């Protein structure tokens, strides 16, 4: 079947909605992908794709052809997976996507051990703080922190991360000492972090003995990544609330001082490995899930995540600040 590679290129272009994205997935140049699709159309004597400078769409003939090809490739993938599964050995290329700080501080340092344990695997890791389309980007699995809203993905909980609130000792002294309650924090003292893409400010949620308090940060500085927010706090810009691993070095060295630790009941954020529903958890995905499960703290059932998908309803909720305009 000498046109197999052209069919693969065509299917990946449709899935990715882009020649460039398909080229990245297949490790080819965009021009090579374009030529492969053109060869396929010429061989079939039919146009499969409508191309403009801004978009791609399937023709009527292309739609039917794509569905048949996608099904056939899926069966071939499944057949290959079954052979691999019969050996029980993870093999091939594993494409994973992880948040930037989590990747740099926890996942990447552990990868050499993962490869040593799975010598027939290679890992291609992308790192960003945006939620990407795994199918479109050709990703096998991704790590996500917090609530999971994409119902098209299967999730496996692999651990939890704890939140911490801190500021530089100099800033705390300037503010008259450490706060006794979240209500002592003024929103303009709290360095904001926002979600990339939506620019939505992340709330700060505190819990103590069944009482929940929420603060919406409104400091002059806001960041999309926690490492920058932590660096700003070290420089005296205000209080920061982040996952503890992003600030543990600064806390250990005395550059940052934790506060409100008695308001951290249940301050655990779930970490999950997610992968597309239509894909079986292959040996390489299962190996990755098992490996990363050993990198994160596991919490007992009474430690309910404040920001997790199964967070318990609060008995009392108080808003310490209104949302900024």
pLDDT at 282: 82
Q: Which runs of consecutive H residues, i.e. helices, occur in the chain? A: 4-16, 19-26, 30-44, 60-87, 100-102, 108-117, 134-137, 169-174, 226-234, 248-252, 283-293
Helix (H) or strand (E) holding 275: strand 268-276
Query: In which domain, by residue range, is 45 found?
Result: 4-87
Q: Are residues 166 and 260 in the same domain?
A: yes
pLDDT digits (tens, 9 = 90+) for 196-249: 777 889 889 898 988 889 999 999 999 998 999 999 999 999 999 999 999 999
Over residues 144-155, the mean pLDDT reads: 79
pLDDT at 164: 94
pTM, to two decimals: 0.65
Report the interhelical angle of 108-117 vs 283-293 (nearest 10°): 130
Q: Are residues 106 and 143 in the same domain?
A: yes
151 or 105, greater pLDDT? 105
Q: Are residues 262 and 165 in the same domain?
A: yes
CB contact set of 52 (below 8 Å; sequence gap of 6+): none
pLDDT at 47: 93
- Over its C-alpha atoms, the chain yields an Rg (Å, rounded) of 24
Least confident residue range of 134-143, 148-157, 184-193? 148-157
Distances (CA, A) of 254 to 161, 237, 248, 263, 309: 21, 16, 10, 21, 34
> To the nearest whole percent, how much of the chain has pLDDT over 90?
53
| pLDDT bucket at 75, cuts 50 / 70 / 90 | confident
Partners of 122 in the beta sheet?
Answer: 93
Given 87, 102, 137, which residue is the final one in a domain?
Answer: 87
**Residue 201, helix vs strand vs coil:** strand
Question: Is 189 a member of any domain?
Answer: yes
Question: Is 35 a member of any domain?
Answer: yes
Given 52, 87, 122, which residue is the final one in a domain?
Answer: 87
* Residue of 117, 143, 118 lying closest to 131 (CA atoms): 143
Check: CB of residue 194 under 8 Å from CB of residue 129. no
Question: Is 299 a member of any domain?
Answer: no
Question: Is 305 a member of any domain?
Answer: no
Over residues 77-105, the mean pLDDT reads: 80
**Residue 16, helix vs strand vs coil:** helix
| pLDDT bucket at 91, cuts 50 / 70 / 90 | confident
Say if strands 268-276 and 240-243 run parallel, antiparallel, or are unpaired: unpaired
Count of domains for the chain: 3
Q: Are residues 241 and 120 in the same domain?
A: no
pLDDT digits (tens, 9 = 90+) for 288-298: 999 999 998 76
Q: Are residues 153 and 277 in the same domain?
A: yes
Q: Please provide the average confidence, as pLDDT, over all residues in the chain.
A: 84
pLDDT at 319: 33
Over residues 306-310, the mean pLDDT reads: 40
The gap from C-alpha 260 to its chain's centroid, in whole angstroms, comes to 28
> To the nearest whole percent, how much of the chain has pLDDT over 70?
86
Angle at 14 between CA 11 and CA 19, to 5 degrees: 100
Given 34, 52, 87, which residue is the final one in a domain?
Answer: 87
| pLDDT bucket at 305, cuts 50 / 70 / 90 | very low
CB contact set of 175 (below 8 Å; sequence gap of 6+): 167, 189
| pLDDT bucket at 266, cuts 50 / 70 / 90 | low
């Amino acid at each position: 079947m000498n046109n197999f590679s052209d069919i693969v290129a065509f299917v990946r272009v449709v899935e990715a909605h882009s020649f460039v994205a398909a080229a990245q997935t297949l490790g080819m140049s965009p021009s090579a992908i374009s030529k492969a699709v053109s060869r396929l159309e010429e061989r079939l004597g039919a146009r499969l794709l409508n191309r403009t400078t801004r978009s791609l769409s399937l023709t009527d003939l292309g739609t039917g052809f794509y569905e048949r090809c996608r099904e056939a490739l899926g069966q071939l993938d499944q057949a290959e997976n079954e052979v691999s599964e019969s050996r029980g050995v993870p093999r091939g290329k594993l494409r994973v996507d992880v948040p930037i700080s989590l990747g740099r501080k926890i996942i990447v340092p552990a990868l050499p051990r993962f490869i040593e344990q799975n010598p027939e695997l290679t890992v291609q890791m992308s790192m960003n703080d945006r939620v990407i389309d795994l199918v479109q980007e050709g990703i096998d699995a991704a790590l996500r922190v917090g609530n999971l809203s994409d119902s098209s993905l299967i999730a496996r909980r692999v651990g939890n991360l704890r939140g911490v609130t801190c500021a530089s000792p100099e800033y705390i002294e300037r503010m008259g000492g450490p706060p006794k309650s979240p209500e002592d924090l003024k929103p303009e003292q709290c360095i904001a972090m926002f979600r990339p893409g939506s620019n939505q400010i992340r709330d700060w949620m505190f819990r103590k003995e069944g009482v929940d308090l929420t603060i919406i940060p409104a400091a002059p500085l806001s960041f999309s990544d926690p490492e920058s927010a932590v660096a700003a706090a070290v420089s005296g810009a205000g209080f920061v609330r982040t996952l503890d691993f992003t600030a543990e070095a600064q806390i250990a060295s005395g550059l940052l001082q934790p506060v409100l630790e008695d308001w951290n009941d249940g301050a655990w954020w779930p970490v999950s490995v997610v992968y597309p529903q239509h894909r079986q958890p292959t040996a390489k995905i299962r190996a990755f899930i098992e490996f990363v499960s050993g990198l994160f703290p596991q919490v007992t059932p009474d430690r309910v995540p404040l920001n997790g998908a199964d967070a318990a309803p609060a008995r009392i909720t108080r808003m310490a600040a209104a949302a900024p305009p």
